[in-house]
Structure 1
Amino acid sequence: MTREGMERHQVWFYLAALVLGLLLGRAAPGLDGAAEASVWPVLAVLLYATFTQLPLTSVPAAFRDARFLGTALVGNFVLVPLLVWGLVQLAPPDPALRLGLLLVLLVPCTDWFITFTQLGGGDGARATALTPVSLLLQLALLPVYLWLLGGTPVTGVFTPGQVWPALLVLLGPLALAALTMRWAADRPRGRRLVDRLGAAPVPLLAVVILLVGVGHAEEIAGSGAVLRVVAVVSGLYLVGAVTLAVVLARLVRLPVPQGRTLAFSLATRNSFIVLPFALSLPAGWETAALVVVLQSVVELLGMIVLVRLVPGVLLRGVRPRRKAPAGS
């Protein structure tokens, strides 16, 4: 299957991986330890492959369109945190559940956001330019958000001994990807390698979800109440985020393609960037990692609707006329 085909049908890969992981975990409970240990190297490879697709060198170019960039940053880093805080108040007062929701809903997506922007008729160039800026800001601001909105100092949950593996899994691939892109910039063989890596994130994320399913099968099997909460909060988040995007796009008079890009930027969240931190939590906080995985599945199901709803109803534009065939 081509890269485009995998990206179009990725939600089914992830659902199948989750179901298979749960079945394996229930059938062979002894696999949980090996599965949890395997998540980390696979996640590192996933992040490396994803980061090689981000144009980190395009950060300066992103600042040239101040109107779009400013609107996207205000939406993602000012208005969305307020929306998330309000929605989390609807969840049961379970610290692990609420922390999982905060982790996964506070940070904008940097991978399939571009894919869904393109599928939904958005501006792929601006989505690509926004992505590295968004990544750098969310890494800096996430601890602040958790402290302000969660009501608990980050150090009260994430101790240095637990956080360093997550930071290593995140920052190591980021540094390696930057070196890879610099090396590949003027080498045809390097560019071919980066192109091939572009097909890796979907299957690798499916493997990560499978391993999480195997490692947490018992918890997930008894998580009906958690799933309902995540489904409701994530669904409300999608509605609220897209509404914010439509209002902002009209207030600042963004062109239609940029408005669609804004909608997908606010709607998609960075689940696997925060997954290492959720997995690094101490015993008793396993629900947080479960919330991250379940939210990503709910979000992907929502994207199936939004790639049609955003361009077809919410942010409609004039379709360009097709050129007549030569000689007609």
Structure 2
Amino acid sequence: MRTGVAWMERHQVPLYLAGLALGAMVGLLSSDTVARAAEAAIHPVLALLLYVTFLGVPFGRIGRASRDGRFLLTVLALNFAVVPAVVWVLSRLVAHDRALLVGVLFVLLAPCIDYVIVFAGIAGGDAERLLVAAPVLMLAQMLALPLLLWLFVGGDLVDAVEPAPFVEAFVFIVAAPLVAAALTQALAARTRVGRVWEHAASATMVPLMVATLAVVVASQIAGVGSRLGAVLLAVPVYVLFAVVMTVLGTIAGHLGRLDATGRRAVVFSGATRNSLVVLPLVLALPAAMDLAPLVVVTQTLVELVVMVVFVRLVPRLIPAP
């Protein structure tokens, strides 16, 4: 078993690319029923992935990480002062289409609080501090998103947003796996069965990431392809956002006088967005905004490819001492 886990960890990037390719093939060649089943599987698979991710974070050391106010302040400033300015500038490229603009704003204004922990950890970033920051980032974006949308688009859109899917996604995708992982670690510290379970579950990290990538792509690629001309206009915005935030995140980490693992985590936090949690919100918008969910999903597809690149790129940009 250990040999298989070590092999998967050494070849995780090719495996993730294979997951993307498999999801694309299934989504393009299968029926709508398969796509709907894959969409229904996104949140359960993501919850399992985060459960396994949280198992790798020693909860006993979270207290120390939570006292790192410099890291938390850097992440908050980057995501809620720098990012809105960058998004406003980049969103001018799609401002001519209201639905396209709304989709871009929804996804780019919301910092990631789930699989950013996975990818940052793979790249040698500080997953513990990102875990501590996740609830703060979630609460901050719930408060800031309506205000930013009101400033960028108008009050009528804010009135159409239903917050219940946002809270439900946070509870199911983040809070429940977090509590389950903490209980598992407590059980593992006291019983042999708990230790066996913890080791077995931790070994599923790479397969679960592959499964997450596959179901996300399989569920949405057909819809994206059906309106490819419209959603492609958002792709340059997403790519530019990733490039700009890589530079600004690196600068922010340096200005915050963080160590290498902290700076890597800051780069990932600034560049990744909360698409899978925001998607239920966007799906609840009026019918006139039916393009917006596809725009959000397109960001997911772009970001997944970007994250695979980041796993290799960020450690080279910010080498360990």
Aligned partner of 1:43 in structure 2 is: 42
C-alpha separation in 2, matches of 1:51 and 1:122:
16
SS in 1 for 2:186: coil
C-alpha separation in 2, matches of 1:148 and 1:186:
46
SS in 2 for 1:234: helix
Kept after mapping to 2: 8 A contact 1:122/1:260: yes
C-alpha separation in 1, matches of 2:16 and 2:214:
9
Say whether 1:14 aligns with 2:17: no
Aligned partner of 1:222 in structure 2 is: 227
User: Structure 2: which 5+ runs fail to align?
Assistant: none
TM-score (norm 1): 0.77
Kept after mapping to 1: 8 A contact 2:103/2:292: yes
Q: 1:108 aligns with which of 111, 127, 151?
A: 111
CA offset digits 1:192-232 (Å, max 9, x no partner): 26647755354144224312335x2xx623323421x2221
Kept after mapping to 2: 8 A contact 1:6/1:202: no
User: Structure 1: which 5+ runs fail to align?
Assistant: 319-328
Aligned partner of 1:326 in structure 2 is: none
Q: How far did 1:190 drift?
A: 5.8
State how many pairs are aligned. 303
Q: How far did 1:280 drift?
A: 2.7
Q: How far did 1:81 drift?
A: 1.5
Alignment of 1:1-328 (within 5 A): 2=5, 4=9, 8=13, 9-24=15-30, 28=31, 31=32, 35-36=35-36, 39-40=39-40, 42-52=41-51, 53-54=53-54, 60-158=63-161, 160=162, 164=164, 167-174=167-174, 176-181=176-181, 183-188=183-188, 189=193, 192=197, 195=202, 198=205, 199-214=207-222, 216=223, 220-227=225-232, 229-312=233-316, 314-318=317-321
Alpha carbons of 1:154 and 1:56: their partners in 2 closer, same or farther (altered >3 Å)? Answer: farther
Kept after mapping to 1: 8 A contact 2:150/2:158: no
CA offset digits 1:218-275 (Å, max 9, x no partner): x623323421x22210111012111111222232332233222211111111221112
Alpha carbons of 1:307 and 1:170: their partners in 2 closer, same or farther (altered >3 Å)? Answer: closer
Kept after mapping to 1: 8 A contact 2:120/2:264: yes
SS in 2 for 1:253: coil
Name the one with the larger helix percent. Answer: 2
Q: How far did 1:37 drift?
A: 7.1
Aligned residue type for 2:112: C
Q: How far did 1:164 drift?
A: 4.2
